[in-house]
């Protein structure tokens, strides 16, 4: 029963955190190995393609983590409006509590790497698609026609990502909270 965290897992977990906080280029492999406790020799054994491969798998871990948070938040209500508002409030609360030292998931890596690595660009694209699909599903189960649900999911995704970026830069959760308040009108269900 090998239940302890493997070196590979430790590397991915640490890298995910650092890439989110510092971005791709500011995060060195030496820092990742040092903070994870795994040696550099292990890094290139488990990730023979180097930093890019490690970043890709880190993005995928972050994607799963965020997706689970979205699912958790959305199951709070059958009403898509209330559910999505609840999820955004969740983000805003956590953002406020943790002193916004965590960065914005995916976004930094997406902006830094999309033009230099198609692999990483696709990884980030896949992340956003997953988030989008979760919102779309919720809207469909709330009565929206599928095509319309997908369109609205893109808009909701944009609002959240943009508000997250603004809240991060301002150091203030207000943009996230204001966006949450407008969800009913985007979904055309007056409150």
Which of 114, 133, 137, 140 binds its own copies (CB under 8 A)? It is 114
Residue 91 in the binding site for its own copies (CB under 8 A):
no
From the list its own copies, DNA, none, pick the one residue 162 interacts with, judged by a Cβ distance below 5 to 8 Å according to partner type: its own copies
Between 39 and 171, name the residue whose CB sits nearer to DNA: 39
Helix 146-170 to helix 118-141 angle, to the nearest 10 degrees?
A: 120
Distance CA 15, CA 7 (A): 12
The pair of structure tokens assigned to 2 is: 């090998």
Contacts to DNA by CB under 7 A? 2, 6-8, 25, 27-31, 38-46, 50-52
159 and 176 in contact (C-beta within 8 Å)? Answer: no
Q: In sequence order, which residues have a C-beta less than 8 Å from that of residue 128 and are 6 or more positions away?
A: 106, 110, 157, 161
Between 3 and 191, name the residue whose CB sits nearer to its own copies: 191
Residue 15 in the binding site for its own copies (CB under 8 A):
no
Residue 23 in the binding site for its own copies (CB under 8 A):
yes
């Amino acid at each position: 029963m090998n239940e302890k965290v493997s070196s590979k897992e430790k590397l991915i977990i640490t890298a995910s955190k650092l890439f989110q906080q510092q971005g791709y280029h500011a995060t060195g492999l030496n820092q990742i190995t040092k903070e994870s406790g795994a040696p550099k020799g292990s890094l290139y054994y488990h990730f023979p393609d180097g930093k890019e491969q490690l970043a890709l798998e880190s993005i995928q871990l972050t994607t799963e983590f965020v997706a689970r948070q979205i699912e958790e938040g959305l199951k709070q209500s059958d009403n898509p409006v209330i559910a999505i508002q609840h999820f955004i409030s969740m983000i805003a609360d956590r953002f406020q509590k943790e002193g916004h030292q965590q960065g914005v998931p995916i976004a930094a890596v997406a902006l830094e790497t999309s033009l230099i690595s198609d692999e990483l660009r696709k990884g980030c694209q896949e992340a956003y698609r997953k988030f989008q699909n979760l919102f779309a599903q919720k809207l469909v189960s709330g009565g929206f026609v599928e095509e319309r649900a997908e369109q609205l999911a893109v808009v909701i995704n944009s609002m959240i990502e943009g508000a997250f970026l603004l809240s991060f830069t301002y150091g203030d959760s207000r943009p996230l909270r204001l966006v949450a308040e407008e969800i009913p009108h985007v979904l055309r269900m007056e409150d």
